[in-house]
Structures are given as C-alpha cells and as structure tokens.
Amino acid sequence: MNQKQYGILSLPVIVGALGYFVDIYDLLLFSIIRVPSLKSFGLTDAAIAEDGLFILNIQMIGLLLGGILWGVLGDKKGRLKVLFASIILYSLGNIANGFVQTVNQYALVRFISGIGLAGELGAGITLVSELLPKEKRGIGTSLVAGIGLTGAVFAFFIKEEFEWRTCYFIGGGLGLLLLLLRVGVLESGMFQSLQNKNVRKGDFFMLFSSRKYFFKYIKAILIGLPTWYVIGILISFSKEFGAHMRIQGNIDPGKAVMYAYVAISIGDILVGFLSQLLKSRKQAVLIFYGITALSMIWYFNLYDSNVNMLYLVSAILGFGTGFWAIFVTMAAEQFGTNIRATVATTVPNMVRGSLVLVSLLFTALQTYAGYVTSAWITGIVVMIIALLALLFTEETFHKDLNYVE
C-alpha cells in the first residue's frame, strides 16, 4: 500500500518541513519587524502598539478564511494542488508587502498573505499523515513542524541583517523556490482512492451537520488555543508587557519571538517522541499544557527583572506550546479521508483566527483592570477552555486513517 513506502525522513516529510519553514518565516515576520516597519511610517509608540494589533488581527482573519478555502479545495481537488496555489498567493503577497506605504495598505496585504499562508500546514500535515504508516506518522508530523518552526528563527536573523522591506522580498523569493521542490512529491494514495467513490468530499458544512461532528471539530480547535494566546499576546507584545512590568533593558519583540520559536521547534520534535513513548497523543499534550501554565505564572511575575530573564521565560513559554504538530495531527486523525484536509487545514487557522477573540477579551478587560492583570485573566480563561476540550477528546494514537465519513 502507498503509505508503507515512506519513512520519517522521506521526501514528503522533508519537503513538508521546508514548506512549513517558509510558511512560518512569512507568518511571523510581521511580529518580528512590527516595530521598525511601523516606525518607518512615522507612528508613535502608542500607535505602533494599537495599529500593530489591528494589522495582526487582520492577518489572522485572512488565515481563518483561507483555512476554510484551502481545506475544502484540499479534499475536492487534492492536497498538492492546494499547496501549489497557497504558496503562489503568499509568496506574491509577501513581495507586495515590501511596497506598502500606509497602515491600511499593510493590513490589506497581510490579509491577502494570511489567506495564502493558511494552506501550507494543514495540507502538508494531511499529506504526511496519509503517506506514512500509523506507527510513524506522529514522529513524521512532529519533524515537519519542528523543523518548519525554525523559520521564525531565520526570520529574526534576516531582520538583523536587512531592512524590513527586504525581509518581505526574501520571504516571497523563498516561497517561489519552494514551488520547485514540491514538483517531486506525489499525491496521497488515500485521496486518489476516493476519486471513483460517490462520497461527499471537502464539505465544510458537513462538520456542522450533526452534534457528533460539530463537537468533535470544536474540541479539536479549542485544544490549540494556548499556542496563539502565548505567541500573539505574550510574546508579540513583550515590549509593552516589559514597560508595564518595569523590566530593565531594551526589549526587542523580534528577539522574544526568535527565542520562543527555537524552543517551540524543540518542543514540537520532542512531543512526537513523547507521544510515541506514552502511546498517547492526549497525555503528551497534557504534559505540555502543564509546562505552559507554569511558565505563564513565571512570566506574570517578572516585575523588575532584566531583559534576559524575559527572553528566557519567552523560550520556556515557547517550549510549553510546542504541541502544535501533535494538535494538528490529532485533528487530522479525528475525521475520514473525504474531509480530513478540510479539518486539518481549518483547525490550525481557526486557532490563529481565534487570536482576534482572545485579543478582544484582553482589550475589553483593560477597561476594568490593568494591562498585565487583563492578560493573566485572559490566560486563565484560555487554559481552562483548552484543558476541558482535551479531556473530552478521543485518543487517536492507534487509529487507522483509511476510512471515510
């Protein structure tokens, strides 16, 4: 069978990892160069914080909409076609980002780039999950995410060497180079075997057609909430938190993102092996939740510390949220081949899009509480919701994926 021809270091895994590397570079680039890029527009520090959150939210809405678009197309047209189309869109979007002159132009182009960026991870994870045998797919998908997430580290070093507009041009160029690598990867055999079957493929609304599908889908999304709360709020706005917590030294949010993603990539590789050792996806994620919760407590008690301590805690926070690969793999394993790409592509992008709701809660709480207090209350809400979703989700470690809904 097609699946058994591939190992954890086969071409689909390597190309999937490189694809996610470029995806993460482009996705996190705005968080890394937010301050210098918006400063070049002549904005004040207050406007950089406010407009930065606005642009980030617009990008995340693009990811949310793109997740639905590419997920449906992935099940209807194939995993590979989605990868090609999404790479072209986000590569051209990033090149266009190098030419923006206003906040609104910036937001519009990040929205378009967000739509493109939404297709890479879900289609790649689905393809690797279906091509690898079940006893290897957890490690395979962890390698894709672990290697891919170092794209954020690369983005930081590129930012240190080049002007912010050039950073976007480099991202666009890397995406176009990636298209050439994709040519050698084959389509999933499970997807191809569906072509002559009379089943509903890529029907997004099927996920809302019964209580069983709906709750399974919602729980798959909620499990991932802590990841983008940590990255989108605590890490991306570390400069603002540092000011409120009287942290000594000049905080570079790009450096905080870089340290977090070094640790996330290590966590994402280790969580695959931990899941293999425990023979459980849920137990592995639960352990990482514990690390995330403890490091959040540490983060909110950094008052009067120095900047290096902030970077250390950013790294530990990142490591704790390094369950991204297993979380997306769990989502893919929950559903049949005819709707798997839809789920695996929409779920991570729904989580990214949920940052809009999380940041709305964070902002609304600031009417009644301080900046830091609002953030930790938001964190408690996010962790409780995610923990309940995980506890009520089925274990999928041993599940055979060759079936349809």
More confident residue, 130 or 305: 305
DSSP 197: S
Q: What value, to the nearest 5°, has the Cα angle with vertex 94 and ends 88 and 96?
A: 100
Whether residue 229 is predicted with pLDDT greater than 70 in this model: the reply is yes
> Is residue 76 a contact partner of residue 123, using CB atoms and an 8 Å limit?
no
Report pLDDT for 20: 84
Whether residue 184 is predicted with pLDDT greater than 80 in this model: the reply is no
In a domain, 245, yes or no: yes
Range of the domain at 228: 7-182+202-391
N-terminal to C-terminal alpha carbon distance within the chain = 21
In a domain, 396, yes or no: no
Report pLDDT for 179: 79
Report pLDDT for 310: 96
Confidence of residue 191 (pLDDT cuts 50, 70, 90): low
In a domain, 2, yes or no: no
Report pLDDT for 365: 96
Report pLDDT for 383: 98
If we measure between CA atoms, which residue out of 160, 176, 175, 149 comes closest to residue 33? 160
> Is residue 278 a contact partner of residue 284, using CB atoms and an 8 Å limit?
yes
CA 95 remoteness from chain centre: 21
**What percent of the residues of the chain are helix, what percent strand, and what percent coil, each to the nearest 5?**
80, 0, 20
Report pLDDT for 274: 92
Report pLDDT for 5: 60
- Provide the residue type at 73 as one letter: L
pLDDT tens for 1-52 read: 344 466 677 777 887 788 888 888 988 888 888 889 999 999 988 899 889 8
Rounded to whole angstroms, the Cα distance separating 327 from 292 reads 15
Q: Which residues have C-beta within 8 Å of that of residue 186, sequence separation ≥ 6?
A: 12, 80, 131
Whether residue 80 is predicted with pLDDT greater than 80 in this model: the reply is no
pLDDT tens for 105-114 read: 999 999 999 9
> Is residue 28 a contact partner of residue 151, using CB atoms and an 8 Å limit?
yes
In a domain, 190, yes or no: no
Whether residue 190 is predicted with pLDDT greater than 60 in this model: the reply is no
If we measure between CA atoms, which residue out of 99, 80, 95, 108 comes closest to residue 26? 95
Q: What is the mean pLDDT of residues 378-384?
A: 97
Inter-axis angle of helices 253-278 and 134-148, nearest 10: 170
In a domain, 121, yes or no: yes
Q: What is the mean pLDDT of residues 174-200?
A: 65
Domains in the chain: how many in total?
1
Confidence of residue 285 (pLDDT cuts 50, 70, 90): very high
Rounded to whole angstroms, the Cα distance separating 191 from 74 reads 9
More confident residue, 126 or 218: 218
In a domain, 329, yes or no: yes
Rounded to whole angstroms, the Cα distance separating 248 from 355 reads 28
Report pLDDT for 77: 78
Predicted TM-score (pTM) of this structure? 0.81
The percent of residues above 90 in pLDDT, for the chain, comes to: 44
Report pLDDT for 192: 56
In a domain, 193, yes or no: no
Q: What CATH number is attached to the domain comprising 363?
A: 1.20.1250.20
SS3 366: coil
H or E stretch at 78: none
pLDDT tens for 129-175 read: 777 777 777 788 888 888 888 888 899 899 999 999 999 999 999 98
More confident residue, 240 or 195: 240
Rounded to whole angstroms, the Cα distance separating 249 from 342 reads 45
- Provide the residue type at 97 as one letter: N
- Provide the residue type at 376 as one letter: W
Query: In the block, which residue shows the tokens 């997004």?
Result: 204
Rounded to whole angstroms, the Cα distance separating 330 from 324 reads 10
Whether residue 200 is predicted with pLDDT greater than 70 in this model: the reply is no
The percent of residues above 70 in pLDDT, for the chain, comes to: 92
In a domain, 361, yes or no: yes
Rounded to whole angstroms, the Cα distance separating 182 from 360 reads 38
CA 247 remoteness from chain centre: 28
H or E stretch at 100: none
Query: In the block, which residue shows the tokens 């076609």?
Result: 81
Which of 84-93, 129-138, 261-270 is least confident?
129-138
Report pLDDT for 177: 87
Report pLDDT for 23: 85
